[in-house]
Structures are given as structure tokens and as C-alpha cells.
């Protein structure tokens, strides 16, 4: 298997399947493309070798391209049915898919105003966004309630007991909460800390910190390279 990804510091969508695959100890080759925005970039030209969709991540299964995180997670679950990527219980599985779909299709205010930037510490930007953007407050409250409710239902330590696709989908939100110092309830904060400490997430974060790259489009709150 190969996984085509963007910069680890910035590419929240790439992070999701990568940490899931790493968590389950899957052997895969990582193909990292430097993010660039706009048309006719080197990023777009290289990516076009793998997908016509123009976005990372892309999973190559025996050379067959699967793109978009939801499709990638489903393809992994199909290919590796012994792994608890989704919960075993059908109702839990349906709920886990709902949470992933909610992330995939929603939380645009949080995503737009607090783009993932693992190495950055931007508490002032976070405070400003929370003070001025009601939609971000709504997104954060929904995520906190989702995590807290789901941890109460499952008993933890992860959303459905053991770490799986739903936790991987929310790992970039954990990164945003840290960078922008977004407030969480004690239950949600403890969950976020557990996610951060998982070996797959920790490995991604270590790689992100080592990148020391600067993509201006992903740095709305800073104008200078690190
Ligand atoms: N719905 C897609 C979103 C993927 C996505 O937006 N990827 C970003 C990087 S995190 C990207 O490739 N951006 C490049 C561009 O927009 O040109 C998924 O779930 O994989």
C-alpha cells in the first residue's frame, strides 16, 4: 500500500488515514507532496499521476487509487476486515460512521478559522476567533458534546472503546484545540490528551514538527516563515 499525503504540519485530511494505518501497524509507503494552492502547480502535476480529484490523501491499493478520506477508510476496512477500524457492533458502527460523516461534511467554521498548524501556538488567534465567530463556538460546543456523550456511552478510553476510524477523524480537531488553545470540558480535554498520546498521532506530530516548512496559504495568522 502507498498513501499520498500533503505536509504533515498542515494537511488535516492526510493525517486521518495515516494515523489510522499507523495505529494498526500497517506497512505502507508514504508519498509526501508539498502542498501548493492554485492551478498548474507542481503539487497538482505530481498528484495528477495518482488521482484526477486534485486533493490529498490518496490510497494506492496494489496501484489502484482510492481518494477522499471516507472512501479510503472504507476501502481499508474492506481490505482488512479483521481490524477493528469500525466498531464490531452494528449500531456503534453506524454511529461511528455518522461521526465521521459529520466531520467530513461539517465544522466548516472551525476548519476555516482555525486551520491545522501543528507546530504553531496561536492562543491569541484562538481567543479572537472565539470572541468574534459564533459559528466556531457552535462547532466547538457540538464537538465537545459529541465526544463527551460518546465517551459516556462507550466508557472510553476512545470514542467507541478502542481507537478506531472515528478517533482518527477527530485527531486534527485535537491538534487545532492545542494550537489555538480552544477550551474543552474536562472530559473532552482528557480524551483529546489521550488521542494526542497515541503512538500513531505522536508519530505524525513528531514528523510535522520536523518539517519546518511554511505554506503561506495555510498560515492566515502569520506572515513570516518559522
Ligand atoms: N474531502 C477530501 C478533502 C481533501 C482535501 O481538501 N485535501 C487538501 C489538503 S488537507 C488538499 O489536497 N488541498 C489541495 C487543494 O485544495 O488544491 C477528503 O476527505 O480527503
Helical residues (DSSP H) of the chain, grouped into ranges = 12-23, 42-47, 69-79, 90-105, 108-113, 123-132, 134-154, 165-179, 186-197, 199-211
pTM confidence score: 0.97
Task: Say whether pLDDT at 197 is over 80.
Answer: yes
Span 16-44, mean pLDDT? 96
Span 104-123, mean pLDDT? 97
* pLDDT score for 225: 60
Cβ contact 21:46 at 8 Å: no
How far is C-alpha 152 from the geometric centre of its chain's CA atoms?
A: 23
Q: Which of 92, 39, 47, 94 is nearest to 67 (CA)?
A: 47
Alpha-carbon distance of 116 to 7, in angstroms, equals 11
- % of the chain beyond a pLDDT of 70: 98
Minimum mean pLDDT range among 72-81, 102-111, 211-220: 211-220
> Ligand 1 atom 20: the closest Cα is on which residue?
68
Mutate which of 8, 34, 56, 176 for ligand 1 pocket (most atoms within 8 A of beta carbon): 56
Q: Does ligand 1 come within 6 angstroms of the Cβ of 51?
A: no
Span 221-225, mean pLDDT? 71
Residue 55 CA to ligand 1 centre (angstroms) = 4
Task: Say whether pLDDT at 95 is over 90.
Answer: yes
Q: Does ligand 1 come within 6 angstroms of the Cβ of 9?
A: no
* pLDDT score for 75: 98
Q: Does ligand 1 come within 6 angstroms of the Cβ of 208?
A: no
Mutate which of 54, 55, 173 for ligand 1 pocket (most atoms within 8 A of beta carbon): 55
* pLDDT score for 222: 79
pLDDT digits (tens, 9 = 90+) for 137-153: 999 999 999 999 999 99
Q: Does ligand 1 come within 6 angstroms of the Cβ of 164?
A: no
Q: Does ligand 1 come within 6 angstroms of the Cβ of 36?
A: no
> Ligand 1 atom 9: the closest Cα is on which residue?
11
> Structural domains in the chain?
2-83 (3.40.30.10), 90-206 (1.20.1050.10)
Cβ contact 198:19 at 8 Å: yes
Amino acid at each position: 500500500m502507498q498513501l499520498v499525503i500533503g505536509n504533515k504540519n498542515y494537511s488535516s485530511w492526510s493525517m486521518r488515514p495515516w494515523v489510522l494505518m499507523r495505529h494498526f501497524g500497517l506497512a505502507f509507503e508514504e508519498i509526501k507532496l508539498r502542498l501548493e494552492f492554485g492551478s498548474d502547480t507542481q503539487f497538482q502535476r505530481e498528484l495528477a499521476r495518482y488521482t484526477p480529484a486534485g486533493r490529498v490523501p490518496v490510497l494506492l491499493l496494489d496501484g489502484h487509487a482510492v481518494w477522499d478520506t471516507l472512501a479510503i477508510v472504507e476501502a481499508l476496512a474492506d481490505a482488512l476486515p479483521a481490524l477493528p477500524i469500525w466498531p464490531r457492533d452494528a449500531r456503534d458502527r453506524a454511529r461511528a460512521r455518522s461521526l465521521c460523516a459529520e466531520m467530513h461534511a461539517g465544522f466548516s467554521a472551525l476548519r476555516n478559522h482555525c486551520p491545522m498548524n501543528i507546530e504553531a501556538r496561536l492562543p491569541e488567534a484562538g481567543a479572537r476567533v472565539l470572541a468574534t465567530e459564533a459559528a466556531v463556538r457552535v462547532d466547538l460546543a457540538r464537538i465537545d458534546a459529541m465526544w463527551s456523550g460518546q465517551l459516556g456511552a462507550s466508557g472510553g478510553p476512545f470514542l467507541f472503546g478502542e481507537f478506531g476510524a472515528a478517533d482518527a477523524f477527530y485527531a486534527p480537531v485535537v491538534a487545532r484545540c492545542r494550537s489555538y488553545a480552544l477550551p474543552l470540558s474536562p472530559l473532552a480535554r482528557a480524551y483529546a490528551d489521550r488521542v494526542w498520546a497515541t503512538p500513531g498521532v505522536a508519530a505524525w506530530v513528531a514528523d510535522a514538527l520536523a518539517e519546518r516548512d511554511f505554506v503561506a496559504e495555510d498560515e492566515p495568522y502569520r506572515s513570516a516563515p518559522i
